[in-house]
Amino acid sequence: MINLLLLEWDKFKKNSVFRTMVIAYIILLPTLMLSMQSILDFIDFPMKSKSIFFEFPQVWKFMAYSGSWQAFFFFGFLGVYLVTSEFQNRTLRQNILSGLTRSQFFIGKLLFAGAISVFSTLYFIVITLVLGYFKSESVSLAVATQGIGISLRYLVMVFSYLNFGLFVGYMLRKNGLALLLYFTYIIFLEKILRWAIQSKLLNLEDKYNLYYPMNVFNDLTPLPLKEMIKQVTSMETQYHILSPNMALLLAIGWNIAFLLGAYYRFKKMDL
Amino acid sequence: MNVLQIEGLSKNYGKIRALNGLNLTIESGQVMGLLGPNGSGKTTTLGILLGILHADAGSYRWFEGQYPENEARKKIGAILETPNFYPYLNADDNLDIYRKIKGAPPQSFDDILRQVNLIERRKSPFSSYSLGMKQRLAVAATLIGDPDILIFDEPTNGLDPNGIAEMRQIIQDIASQGKTVLMASHILDEVEKICSHVTILQKGKLLASGPIGHILTENSFILLNSENNDRLITLLHDKKGVLNITKKDNMIMLEVDKNLSAQAVNRLAADGGIWLSYLEERKNTLEEEFIEITQPHHSFN
């Protein structure tokens, strides 16, 4: 197992796309949050304290939300690339004919996606603690770690985007096509699908609208304001966001579905 | 020991039958040429044998089934179609990846890279290589772990004359070490020069297989032309030593046994009152044999 993971590392450690995506995440995760503060200062946001975003424990949720955008972009892109580059360079063929089984290749990618998720979550924890420490007025360990529980959902969120990227990569094999589908599906195809299936085809209740994969991944680390609104209003907004545990459960379910779908297709296909 | 046994291997691409019930056995130490025109099923066969493609029917066994399939592949060095490497990695890094996949112990690639004449460019990324260099790196990769069997698919495709000569020399050197080689090619001359055995494929079917000496007959071919070829055919078709007559590009191709010389054919035509405008004795190459075996005959015998 560890050999398969190290093999992936050997393949991609000098790859410019891999490096760019990782470095972009490392740089942008803290800077995006910091730049948000200057924007808030600039637009004179009507709040009693603008530092609410950066203080423990809220900082966890805001950082997680900000991180989810980067995971969606950088790690989803990376997930697609990890698979399609092997198809397009035909290195996948050479891997197999040199003695790797298809299952080993598949597991190697999965482990690599898992490792990236773990490291990016650890980085998220460190950056959040540092940011929170400097921005909070009084810091105690208990307050600082109050929101740390979101890290598990953050981990699943990062893995979900990577895994969905891998899935699309296995399905389409071609880099450009797979990236196009990855981004268009997340940005608007799912929304169209939800609208068409839910309200036109099945005529189901609105709450089922939330169960679609990208919405589930989104609700793992949602925009904190959304949650606040949900707390203070009891209007129809009650169905606009999944509960954390529900999001976690559904995300794991979708991940298993994507893995099985990709594995089944990969085992069957001619390379 | 037979290192490879293929039984009834078939593969379809949609309605196209790429491989049609192929049976073949390769013994240890043979240098087998898999010969056929483009689209005859050579690469499909190799793709199935190497776990890249799924067969629709039939089976194959490496090393008499001693190892699981992927373990068997680790004992084979293979190039399929194009050289496939990570473009941003250099020769050493690329070879090391395939060494790890093969489970071979850590090694210096000095000897291998020297053998394929890439030692000076070993630290350049693969994407900066010329086609010849890429192909040579692919050969280098096949040598990792000192495999017993080597598979080359059109190894000289796209190379310049220098590259072709170099590649053939490398393969001949490998073959001379007593390794089993399976080489697909549509270039007959190449197979004739390198291989001890040949299997001829056409439209996914096996046409002939055996030692090159057995597949090649001792017959020779004579190309003729005259003002009246139809009369010439009538004149020659029942003469002793004439085995087959085909029309080729407005000329006549005569297959004759070794006792009938070009000079004798010339005399036969002159005695019949036909003056030849062209007479060429062809060297008996695999090419003639190949045409003989693969093309439907327009025979006058």
Q: What is the pLDDT of residue B253?
A: 87
Nearest to A225 by CA among A39, A71, A58: A58
Q: What percent of chain B has pLDDT over 70?
A: 93
User: A96 in contact with B at a CB cutoff of 8 Å?
Assistant: yes
Burial B4-26 (b: 16+ CB within 10 A, else e): bbbeebbbeeeeebbbbebebeb
Q: How confident is the model at residue B295 (pLDDT cuts 50, 70, 90)?
A: low
Q: What is the pLDDT of residue B151?
A: 95
Across chain B, mean pLDDT equals 88
| Rounded Cα gap, residues A136 and A60, in angstroms | 12
Compute the radius of gyration of chain B from its Cα atoms. 23
User: Is residue A57 reached through a cis peptide bond, with omega within 30 degrees of 0 on the bond before it?
Assistant: yes
Q: How confident is the model at residue B282 (pLDDT cuts 50, 70, 90)?
A: confident
Alpha helices in chain B, H assignment, sequence order: 42-49, 69-74, 91-102, 110-115, 131-142, 161-176, 188-194, 212-215, 229-236, 262-271, 286-294
Q: Which of the residues A8, A96, A97, A106 would you substitute to probe the B interface, choosing the one with the greatest number of B C-beta atoms within 10 Å?
A: A97
Q: What is the pLDDT of residue B166?
A: 85
User: B89 in contact with A at a CB cutoff of 8 Å?
Assistant: yes
Q: Which residue of A has its CA nearest to B13?
A: A270
| Rounded Cα gap, residues B21 and A90, in angstroms | 28
CB contact under 8 A, B50 and A97: yes
Give pLDDT < 70 ranges for chain A: 43-51, 226-239
CB contact under 8 A, B80 and A97: yes
User: B258 in contact with A at a CB cutoff of 8 Å?
Assistant: no
CB contact under 8 A, B96 and A10: yes
Alpha helices in A58-174, H assignment, sequence order: 58-70, 76-88, 91-97, 102-135, 141-144, 150-172
| Rounded Cα gap, residues A251 and A222, in angstroms | 13
DSSP state of B51: T
Residues in chain A closer than 8 A to B70 (CB atoms): 99-101, 104
Burial A24-45 (b: 16+ CB within 10 A, else e): ebbebbbeebeeeeeebeeeee
Nearest-CB residue to A14 (from B71, B89, B103): B89
CB contact under 8 A, A3 and B141: no
CB contact under 8 A, A15 and B98: no
User: B78 in contact with A at a CB cutoff of 8 Å?
Assistant: yes
Our CA dihedral for A163, A167, A173, A177, rounded to 10 degrees, sits at -90
Q: What is the pLDDT of residue B299?
A: 39
The pLDDT tens digits of the residues spanning B142-186 come to 999 889 899 999 888 878 888 888 888 888 888 888 899 999 998
User: B105 in contact with A at a CB cutoff of 8 Å?
Assistant: no
Q: B105 phi and psi, to 5 degrees? A: -65, 155
User: A271 in contact with B at a CB cutoff of 8 Å?
Assistant: yes
Instruction: Provide the pairing of β-strand B31-35 with B57-62.
Output: unpaired
| Rounded Cα gap, residues B50 and A73, in angstroms | 37
B276-288 mean pLDDT: 75
**In chain A, residues 1-60 whose CB comes closer than 8 Å to chain B:** 3, 6-7, 10-11, 14-16
- Residue B221 CB contacts under 8 Å (≥ 6 apart), including other chains: B253, B254, B255, B256, B281, B282, B284, B288
Q: What is the pLDDT of residue B188?
A: 80
What number of C-beta contacts closer than 8 Å exist between A and B?
Answer: 76
- Residues constituting chain B: 301
CB contact under 8 A, B71 and A101: no
Tell me the pTM. Answer: 0.85
CB contact under 8 A, A270 and B52: yes
Q: Which residue of B has its CA nearest to A17?
A: B88
A43 token code pair: 């637009």
Which own/partner pairs from B187-192 qualify as long-range (CB within 8 Å, at least 24 positions apart)? B187/B156, B188/B35, B188/B285, B188/B286, B188/B287, B188/B289, B188/B290, B189/B285, B189/B286, B189/B287, B190/B33, B190/B156, B191/B33, B191/B35, B191/B286, B192/B285, B192/B286
| Rounded Cα gap, residues A23 and B202, in angstroms | 53
The pLDDT tens digits of the residues spanning B6-61 come to 999 999 998 899 999 999 999 999 999 999 888 889 999 999 999 999 999 999 99
CB contact under 8 A, A97 and B78: yes
Angle, helix A76-88 to helix A150-172, in steps of 10 degrees: 30
Residues in chain A closer than 8 A to B96 (CB atoms): 10
CB contact under 8 A, A98 and B73: yes
pLDDT value at B231 more than 70: yes
**In chain A, residues 60-89 whose CB comes closer than 8 Å to chain B:** 89
User: B208 in contact with A at a CB cutoff of 8 Å?
Assistant: no
B22 - beta bridge partners? B9
CB contact under 8 A, B86 and A96: no
Residues in chain B closer than 8 A to A97 (CB atoms): 50-52, 73, 76, 78, 80
Nearest-CB residue to A99 (from B85, B101, B141): B101
Smallest CA–CA distance, residue A119 to chain B, in Å, is: 24
CB contact under 8 A, B97 and A10: yes
User: A107 in contact with B at a CB cutoff of 8 Å?
Assistant: no
**Number of Cβ atoms within 10 Å of the Cβ of B249:** 8
